Amino acid sequence: MADNVIEETDNYPGKDELDWGYEEGVEWGLLFPEANGEYQSPINLNSREAWYDQRLLEVGLNPNYVVCRDCEVINDGHTVRIMLKSKSVVTGGPLPSDHEYELSEVRFHWGKENQRGSEHTVNFKAFPMELHLIHWNSTLFNGVEEAMGKKKGILIIALFVQVGKEHLGLKAITDVLQDLQYKGKTKIIPCFNPNTLLPDPLLRDYWVYEGSLTTPPCSENVTWILYRYPLTISQMQVTPPQLLLNITITQICM
């Protein structure tokens, strides 16, 4: 474990030239050739096959997030996205030395059932929901579009979600979901702090592996960091019924 770590052997980030839908997920390889790659995500994380990397303890993962003002929250017809304009970056851990990865957006992924909303699984166990914090390498590239598909270009930090008490850090988002019932709807929230999504510093064990985007174009060269301990949010925050009627349930590039 690193930081404490375990290591495992659109616009998503950018808008695709072709429109797509989850109903033809099995045919994505025909529309998006990168979906036929060898290192596709998501995967099942097998804790017994993971190996401990002592080197990652020496250079801890360092999220340096700042509060975003006037953030845009979008229903894009596939998911809910929080677009961030503040200069929030991540360094250290398994990332290349002296490289900064800038946080571009946060995405929500849930399913029809509380038990199966996450894209990744741990020992074949799914979680009610999964959050993706999408970053691009601002040391090598000029934007998320340029970084997509490039070596060392994209970092996604994923957090599993379990049901429990209300998560105050997400309240500003969940409070506006009723205004985002339909594709294309947007809402500006005055303040969002991405630091509230991170686990307690003592609970920051994570898995890391190289994979791909989980929706078209399914580009590879994505570094995935998945925190071991889940985020806790309330039942109402996990399954906003007004959105589930209008967003296609997530399928994936596999």
Closest CA to 8 of 51, 39, 61: 51
Domain coordinates in residue numbering, the chain: 29-244
When comparing pLDDT for 186 and 235, which is higher? 186
Confidence of residue 218 (pLDDT cuts 50, 70, 90): confident
Confidence (pLDDT) at 18: 44
Confidence (pLDDT) at 176: 86
In the predicted structure, residue 27 carries a pLDDT above the cut 70: no
How far separated are the first and last CA of the chain, in Å rounded?
A: 27
When comparing pLDDT for 57 and 89, which is higher? 89
Confidence of residue 111 (pLDDT cuts 50, 70, 90): confident
The answer to which of 15-19, 73-77, 228-232 has the lowest mean pLDDT is 15-19
- The catalytic residues are 78
In the predicted structure, residue 35 carries a pLDDT above the cut 70: yes
In the predicted structure, residue 158 carries a pLDDT above the cut 90: yes
Average pLDDT, integer, range 184-194: 93
In the predicted structure, residue 146 carries a pLDDT above the cut 60: yes
Confidence of residue 8 (pLDDT cuts 50, 70, 90): very low
Confidence (pLDDT) at 231: 92
Stated pTM of the model: 0.85
* CATH (residue range 29-244): 3.10.200.10
Rounded Cα distance, 108 and 129, in Å: 7
Confidence (pLDDT) at 180: 85
Q: Which long-range contacts (CB under 8 A, 24 or more apart) does 134-137 make?
A: 134/12, 134/13, 134/103, 134/104, 134/105, 134/106, 134/107, 135/89, 135/90, 135/101, 135/102, 135/103, 135/104, 136/13, 136/101, 136/102, 136/104, 137/96, 137/99, 137/100, 137/101
Q: Express as a percent the part of the chain with pLDDT over 70.
A: 79
In the predicted structure, residue 7 carries a pLDDT above the cut 60: no
Confidence of residue 30 (pLDDT cuts 50, 70, 90): low
Confidence (pLDDT) at 202: 75
Whole-number mean pLDDT of the chain? 82
Confidence of residue 9 (pLDDT cuts 50, 70, 90): very low
